[in-house]
Amino acid sequence: MNIRSVPLTAWIGMAGIAMAVIAAAFAPWLAPFGENQIVGSPWEPASHAFPLGLDNLGRDLLSRMIYGARMTLFVSFCATVLSFSLGIILSFVAAVMRGVVDMGLSRLNDLMMSIPTLIFALIVLAALPQNLFVLIVVMAVLDSTRVFRLGRALAGDIAVMDFVEAARLRGEKTLWIVFREILPNAMTPLLAEFGLRLAFAVLFISTLSFLGLGIQPPTADWGGMVKDNKDGIIFGVSAALVPGAAIASLTISINLVVDWLLKRTSSLKGGRGG
C-alpha cells in the first residue's frame, strides 16, 4: 500500500481517532484536574485556568472530557471486539456447516433483528443489573446480529469458491476452513465493517448514557456528560455541546477512515456487481 495514495480525508480521520486514543491512554497525566474534583462554582464560564469552563457541579469540563474519552472508547471498543468475534465465528460456521445449523442461526438472527436495537437494549437493561460488564455484553450481543448478517453473506460468497471446495475435499476440518480459507479472504470488507460498528458503538453507548441507562455517574463518559449539563442549554451554557461535539468528531473521524477503506475495497474488486 502506497502512503501517498491515502486521501486527505482519511488522514484527518486517523488524526481524530489518534487524538481520542491518546487522551484515553494518558488521561491521568493529561488532565489538569481530577475526574470528580470540584474546582469552582457550577457552569463557570471558560477562563485561563479552565479552557472549557466548569460543568453542572463545578468540575473542570476539560478534565472530564479527557477521562470521558477513556470510558467511551473502552466500552465501545470492547463491545465491538466482542460483537465481531461472536458475529463472525457464528456466521462463518453457519456458512460452512449449512443445513440445519445455518437455518437455525440465520432465523434466530432475523428474529433478533426484527426488534430495533435501542428498543431491545432498553427492554433487556430494564431487567438486568446496571454494571459495566452487563452493558458491554448487551451491546455486543445486539450488535453481533449486524455482523452476522454481513459475515454470512461474505462467507456464503467465499464458501462456494474452488479453493474452499478443494480444502473440503482435502478433508480439512470446519474450523480450518473458517480461519484459514474464508477469514483471510473476507478481511478488507470486515475491517471496514469493524469501523462502522465501532462508530455505531460510540453513538450507542453515548445514547444509552444520555438516557441515563449506560455508564452510571460519577464516572465521566461523553454521553453522560451531555445528560449532566443539558439543563444549562436553556440558559445559554454550552457545556453540554462540548461532549456532544467530541462524540460527533470521533464518529466522523471513524467514518472518514471507513469511507476510504470501502472505496479501496470496491476498486480492488474492480467494482462489485458491475
Partner 1 sequence: MTDTQPTPSIPVSAPPPGPVAVWRTRFPMASRIAERIVLGIGLLFASSILIFAGIEMLPGDFATTYLGQAATPQAIANLRAEFGLDRPIVARYFDWLFNILHGDFGHSWASGQSVSGQIADRLGNSMLLAGAAAVIAVPLAVGLGLIAVLYRDRLVDRLINLVSLAAVSLPEFFVAYLLIMVFVVQHPVAAFPATVYDSMSLWQKLQTIILPVATLVLVVLAHMMRMTRAAIINVMASAYMETAELKGISALRAIVKHAAPNALAPIINVVALNLAYLIVGVVVVEVVFVYPGMGQYMVDAVTVRDLPVVQGCGLIFSAIYILLNMVADILSILVNPRLRHPR
- Residue recorded with cell 458491554: 136
What are the helix (H) ranges across the chain?
8-25, 27-30, 61-97, 99-113, 117-127, 132-159, 162-170, 174-176, 183-185, 187-210, 222-229, 241-268
Residue 24 interacts with partner 1 (CB under 8 A): yes or no:
no
The least distance separating partner 1 from the CB of residue 134, rounded to whole angstroms, comes to: 10
Which x/- pattern over 160-189 shows residues binding partner 1 (rule: CB under 8 A)?
Answer: x----x--xx--------------------
- Quickly list DSSP for 1-61: --GGGS-HHHHHHHHHHHHHHHHHHTHHHH-SS-TT-B-SSTTPPP-SS-TT-B-TTSBBH
Task: Evaluate whether 91 touches 158 at the Cβ level (below 8 Å).
Answer: no
The least distance separating partner 1 from the CB of residue 26, rounded to whole angstroms, comes to: 25
Among 1, 3, 8, 126, binds partner 1 (CB under 8 A): 126
Which x/- pattern over 145-164 shows residues binding partner 1 (rule: CB under 8 A)?
Answer: -----------xx-xx----
Question: Which class for 245: exposed (0-12), middle (13-18), buried (19 or more C-beta within 10 A)?
Answer: middle
- Interface region with partner 1, contact rule CB under 8 A, candidates 17-25, 63-71, 170-178, 226-234: 226-234
The least distance separating partner 1 from the CB of residue 116, rounded to whole angstroms, comes to: 5
**Amino acid identity, residue 229?**
N
- Interface region with partner 1, contact rule CB under 8 A, candidates 36-44, 53-61, 82-90, 210-218: 210-218
Task: Evaluate whether 252 touches 16 at the Cβ level (below 8 Å).
Answer: yes
Residue 165 DSSP SS3:
helix
Among 15, 22, 25, 128, binds partner 1 (CB under 8 A): 128
CA gap 115, 123 in Å, rounded: 10
- Residue recorded with cell 489518534: 18
Window 230 to 259, contacts with partner 1 (CB under 8 A): 230, 233-236, 238, 240-241, 244-245, 247-248, 251-252, 254-256, 259
The least distance separating partner 1 from the CB of residue 273, rounded to whole angstroms, comes to: 7
Among 15, 18, 98, 263, binds partner 1 (CB under 8 A): 98
Q: What DSSP state is assigned to residue 179?
A: I
Residue 226 interacts with partner 1 (CB under 8 A): yes or no:
yes
In this structure, what are the phi and psi dihedrals at residue 38, rounded to the nearest 5 degrees? -90, 120
Residue 207 interacts with partner 1 (CB under 8 A): yes or no:
yes
Task: Write out the residues near partner 1 by the rule CB under 8 A.
Answer: 9, 98, 102-103, 106, 110-112, 114-120, 122-129, 156-157, 159-160, 165, 168-169, 199, 203, 206-207, 210-213, 223, 226, 230, 233-236, 238, 240-241, 244-245, 247-248, 251-252, 254-256, 259, 271, 273-274
